[in-house]
Structure 1
Amino acid sequence: MSAEATGARVEEILDGLTAKGGPAVAEAAEELVRALMEFYGAGLARLVDRLSGTSGNPLGALLGDELVAGLLVLHGLHPEDREQRVARALSAAEAGDLRVTGFDEESGELRLTKPEGGGCGCPSTSGAVEQRVAAALSCFAPEVTEVTLEQSAPREPALLQIGTRPPGAAANGPAVAR
C-alpha cells in the first residue's frame, strides 16, 4: 500500500459519501479523516523524537510513551502483554501503591486495590488518581473498559504481649515480652 494509492482511496470514499449522503455527511467524514491524520501525525512525530538520540533499547523508549503505545495497541503491534501494559499505565499515572487484584476478560473490568492508610483519604485525591489511571489505561490497555478501585481490608493492630519482668529488670516500669 503506497501513500499515493491510500490518498486516492480516501478521495474516492469521500466523493462517494458526498454523492450518497450529501454535503453534511462529507463534511463529517472529512473531519474524521483530519482527526485521524492529526492523531497519526502526532504519533509519528513522537516516534521520531523518541528514536532520535536513543541508544541501547529504542523500543523501550517508545513503549513508555502513551501516544505511541496507543498506536501500537490499536494495530496489535504492542510487544507487551496486558499485565505489563497495565503495570506501565499505573506507573505512568503515578498511581502509587495500587495493586491489580483481577481482570474480567468478558466485561473488561480491572479491579485495583488501594492499601489501607494509603494517601490522605481525601475523595478529591482518590478521584484524581482514578482519572489519571483511566486515562493511562485507555492508551496502554484499551481492553480495560472499567476500573473498580477497592479499599483493602484494614490491618489487624500489632499484638503487644505483656508478661512478667525478666530477671534483673527494673521494678519501675511495665514488663514487655520480647
Structure 2
Amino acid sequence: MGPPGLSAPEETQDDAYWRTAGDRIQTLLDASATGGPVARERAERLAGEITDLYGAALHRIIRLTGTTHSALTEEFAADDLIASLLLVHGLHPHDMTRRIEDALDKVRPYLGSHGGDVTLLGVTDTPGGAEVRLQFAGSCKTCPSSAVTLELAVEDAIHAAAPEVTAIEVVPAESAPTTGVIPAQSLLSRVHRDSHHAAHAQAVWHPVPELADLGDGEVGGFRVSDATVLACRVRDDVFAYRDRCGNCGGSLAGAALHRRMASPDPVLRCPRCHAHFDVVRAGACIDGTDSATIHLEPMPVLVRDGVLSIAAGVS
C-alpha cells in the first residue's frame, strides 16, 4: 500500500514518505499523551510490539537470503529505505567502517567538483559512541567560502549510513599546498572549532524532487527556502548554484550550458555579461587568469531520504 494521495508515485517520493514515517509515529505517540499516562504507555507498547514483530521478520529474511542469495542481500544494503530499517534493528550486513566508506564514495563526486577529496583515517569505539577521523585533500579551488557546505555533505552522508557515529574529527594534512588557495582541510578544521554548531543550526536541507526531471545538459531555476537556485545536470550529476553571476552580480535566468571542444564538461554562460563558469568544478570562472577569484556560489546537492535535496541557509 502506497502513501495516500499519490497516484503512481515516483520511487523517490515513495521513499521520502516512508523515511519520514518515524516522525509521524512520534506525533501520534505524543498525541496519545492527552489521554493520560496510561494511554501513552499503551500506545508506546503497541508501537514497540509492532516494531519488534517486523524486526523479527527482517531478521529471518536476512538470515535466509544471506545463506543462499548473497547478491540479494547486497541489493538490500544498497537500498536506502531498506538499509535504514536494517540499521534500526541491527541487521545491516556491512560493518560500520564499510558503511562509512560507501557513504564517502557517494559524496566524492560532489567533493571532486570543489577540487577536493576525503580519506577515512579510522573509526574508534568509545563509551559515548563511535568517533570517525577524516582527512581532506585538495582545496576549495576559488571558492573557499563553500567549505561549510563540504563539511555538511560529508557529515550528512556519514550520519545517514552510520547513526551510531557521535563525533567526526577532521585531521589536518601534514603539508599544505604552496599555492595561494586556502587548503580545504584548514577551513574545515576552523569550521569545526569555531562555528560548528552555529553553521549547522542555520543550514536546512530542502527536498527538491523536481531536480530529478532535469535532463543531461538542461538548466532550471528553483525556489529553495528564500533563495533562487540555478541547477543543471551534467550526465548523472546535478549541480546547484545561487542565482547570482559571480562576475556582474546579475541573475543567471536564461543561462545555458555550452560545450567546449577541449573538455568533455560544459560551461555555463551568463546571459548578461557573457562570463563563462565551470559548473562541474565549483563554478570557477574560466575567462583568463584575471578571473581566478571570480566564481559562482555553490549549494550542496545530495540524495536525502531518497529525494534530491539542496542545503540552504549556510552562511
> What TM-score, normalized to structure 2?
0.31
Distance 1:63 1:124 in 2: 35
1:113 to 135, 138, 147: 135
4+ aligned runs moved over 6 Å, structure 1 = none
Distance 1:80 1:118 in 2: 31
Query: How big is the shift at 1:140?
Result: 1.1
Corresponding residue SS for 2:97 = helix
Distance 1:59 1:130 in 2: 31
Distance 1:66 1:123 in 2: 31
Aligned residue pair count? 121
Corresponding residue SS for 1:145 = strand
Distance 2:168 2:133 in 1: 6
1:20-60 CA-to-partner distances (Å, cap 9, x unmatched) read 2499x79xx79xx7xxx9xx9xxxxxxxxxxxxxxx93333
Aligned partners of 1:66 and 1:139 also within 8 Å: no
1:93-148 CA-to-partner distances (Å, cap 9, x unmatched) read 23553111122311422110012x34427444322222122222222111112222
Query: How big is the shift at 1:80?
Result: 0.5
Structure 1 residues without counterparts, runs of 5 or longer: 1-9, 41-55, 158-178
Structure 2 residues without counterparts, runs of 5 or longer: 1-24, 55-69, 179-315
Aligned partners of 2:124 and 2:131 also within 8 Å: yes
Query: Hey, what does 1:98 align to over in structure 2?
Result: 118
Query: Hey, what does 1:68 align to over in structure 2?
Result: 82
Relative to structure 1, the CA distance from residue 60 to residue 22 in structure 2 (aligned partners, 3 Å threshold; closer, same or farther) is closer
Corresponding residue SS for 1:112 = strand
Query: How big is the shift at 1:79?
Result: 0.5
Does residue 153 of the first structure (1) align with residue 174 of the second (2)?
yes
Query: Hey, what does 1:138 align to over in structure 2?
Result: 159
RMSD: 4.1
Query: How big is the shift at 1:88?
Result: 0.9
Higher strand share: 2
Corresponding residue SS for 1:103 = strand
Corresponding residue SS for 1:79 = coil
Does residue 20 of the first structure (1) align with residue 36 of the second (2)?
yes
Distance 2:33 2:176 in 1: 62
Distance 1:83 1:140 in 2: 10
Relative to structure 1, the CA distance from residue 111 to residue 146 in structure 2 (aligned partners, 3 Å threshold; closer, same or farther) is same
Query: How big is the shift at 1:89?
Result: 1.0
Higher helix share: 1
Query: Hey, what does 2:66 align to over in structure 1?
Result: none
Rg (Cα) greater in structure: 1
Relative to structure 1, the CA distance from residue 16 to residue 65 in structure 2 (aligned partners, 3 Å threshold; closer, same or farther) is closer
Relative to structure 1, the CA distance from residue 150 to residue 120 in structure 2 (aligned partners, 3 Å threshold; closer, same or farther) is farther
Distance 2:151 2:89 in 1: 26
Aligned partners of 1:66 and 1:136 also within 8 Å: no
Relative to structure 1, the CA distance from residue 130 to residue 16 in structure 2 (aligned partners, 3 Å threshold; closer, same or farther) is closer
Give percent identity, aligned residues only. 31
